[in-house]
Structure formats: structure tokens, C-alpha cells
Amino acid sequence: MLCKRIVACLDVRGARVVKGVNFTSLIDAGDPAELARRYYADGADEIVLLDVDATLEGRRARARTVEAAAERIFVPLLVGGGIRSEDDAAAMLDAGADKVAVNSAALDDPSLITRLAARYGSQAVVVAIDAARTDGDVSVWTRSASRPTDRSAVDWAIEAADRGAGEILLTSIDRDGTANGFDCEMTRTIASRLRIPVIASGGAGSHAHFVQVFTTGCAEAALAASIFHFGRTHIRDLKHHLAAEGVPVRLPC
């Protein structure tokens, strides 16, 4: 059985990591390179660096921030924010990213997924989906979760996989930053329709929440930010708890 992955997320604004609730009320959480190093040393299986202003400002993520994080870690680095073209993806990969995440640009032009997968391989292409519950359905939001669309999150995830995405990064807008637990039902609904991994995001607040999303949400990986940034737990302790609960994980040395 493949090990489940713990992913530490760095939402970056300017040169600092920030975190809020439901994508708003952001507060400072530290230096991205230092946090990347800390989480790598603590046993993170992957680091995600998301430039939260890049799409809204019409630019790609800052290469210097990516480089500074990449040189301090030896686990995969996923970078997202403002990646609208093959050139944008190339810049991030050249800066040290192992994977790139596309979101709004892929919704605008789904062929971007196929072009990136053809050039770099599906393993380097992650489609990020920000989703919220609306009238009994789960719909996709765009532009850093500031604008609703009429797209079903399930349908969009299936299309993204068919177009060549290697993973789906699924964030529950409703749960983001709340510490109330992952949306396991939404995660399971989408993961059960795909043959590629789903990274669950949004709502982690306790060790039990990770156990739930792995055992009932069908997630292959779980992403969190606040629970690590503000010292509610350490990745090392979380992994030992998961192992004790029978969840297969790579234990830190």
C-alpha cells in the first residue's frame, strides 16, 4: 500500500507566508524559505508554495522566493500562482519547482493542462480546484477563490484528469482555515471518480481530521497550513499518530 503524504502549504503574499480563514483576513505566519526548511526537517513529504496574489496581479510566482525554498529542501516542491502558460511553468521549474499547479488559467483554457503534460509529463502538472457548496452542489471558484463559476467541481476534476493532470489539489473554501476538519464527503465524491491522486485541503485542525480524510475521504495526500504554522502540532507527531491509527505513512528519521 502506498504511503499517505503530509503536505505543508505556504501561502505567500509579497515575501511572507500568510494565512487566514475562508481565503480572507490574512495574517503573517513567517518567512517562506525558513518555514520550508523547518517542515522538511520535521518530516513533510511535500511542500506547496502558492503565491496568493499572482493571479490577481497578472504575474507568475516570484522566482527568487521559489529558489530560496527549493535550495533548503529535498522533497518535492509544488508551486502555484499566476501560471498561465508553458513559459510561466518553465520559469518555476527552472527556479527549483518539481511540479506546477494551474487553476484559473486552466479553467480559461483547459488545453493548457494538455500542453503542460505533453511537455513536462503528467507527474509535474497539478490542477488546483477551489470548491464551495452551493445549492446542494459543489461548484468551482476562480481568481483566488474570489469569483464563482457555473462549473461542477466533479466534472472539472474528471476533465482535468482526462486532459493529463497528474494530481488534483482540492481545497474546500468553506473549510479553509476553520480547523473544523476536511470536507471528507466532497473529497471522497471526487476521488472516487478519478484514477489520479487527490490532495485534500482546507480545514485541518487535529490529528483526527487527518485520519478521517485518509480513511473516509479517499485522499492520497492531505495539505495543511495553520495547524503547522501556529504550533498546534508538528508533522513528526502527526505522522506517529497516523501510524498508530493504521494509516501508512513515511515516518521521519
Dig out the grid coordinates for 71 from the structure. Answer: 535550495
162 included as an active-site residue: no
Query: What SS3 string covers the chain?
Result: CCCEEEEEEEEEECCEEEEEECCEEEEEEECHHHHHHHHHHHCCCEEEEEECCHHHHCCCCCHHHHHHHHCCCCCCEEEECCCCCHHHHHHHHHCCCCEEEECHHHHHCCHHHHHHHHHHCHHHEEEEEEEEEECCEEEEEECCCCEEEEEEHHHHHHHHHHCCCCEEEEEECCCCCCCCCCCHHHHHHHHCCCCCCEEEECCCCCHHHHHHHHHCCCCCEEEECHHHHCCCCCHHHHHHHHHHCCCCECCCC
Q: Is 218 left (phi over 0), alpha (psi -120 to 50) or beta?
A: left
Q: Where residue 181 falls among pLDDT bands split at 50, 70, 90?
A: very high
23 pLDDT band (50/70/90 cuts)?
low
108-117, 146-155, 186-195, 213-222: range with lowest mean pLDDT: 146-155
- Tens digit of each residue's pLDDT (9 = 90 or more) over 193-214: 999 999 999 999 999 999 999 9
Displacement of CA 118 from its chain's centroid (Å): 22
pLDDT score for 91: 94
Which is more confidently placed, 55 or 244?
Answer: 244
Q: Is the pLDDT of residue 192 over 90?
A: yes
101 alpha carbon, distance to own chain's centre: 8
If you average pLDDT over each of 23-27, 31-35, 110-114, which comes out highest? 110-114
- From the list 11, 45, 176, 183, the catalytic residue is 11
Is 226 or 220 the better-scoring residue by pLDDT? 220
What is the rounded average pLDDT of the residues 21-50? 84
User: Is-catalytic flag, 130?
Assistant: yes
Among the residue ranges 145-149, 186-190, 216-220, 230-234, the one predicted with the least confidence is: 145-149
Per the CB < 8 A criterion, the answer to whether 165 and 151 are in contact is no
Q: What is the pLDDT of residues 47-93, one digit of tens each?
A: 999 987 766 666 666 889 999 999 999 999 999 988 999 999 999 99
Predicted pLDDT of residue 137: 86
When pLDDT is cut at 50, 70 and 90, the band that residue 13 belongs to is: confident
Please tell me which residue, 121 or 252, carries the higher pLDDT value.
Answer: 121
Structural domains for the chain: 5-244 (3.20.20.70)
pLDDT at 242: 98
For residues 29-53, give the mean pLDDT. 92
Q: Which of 45, 130, 176, 183 is catalytic?
A: 130
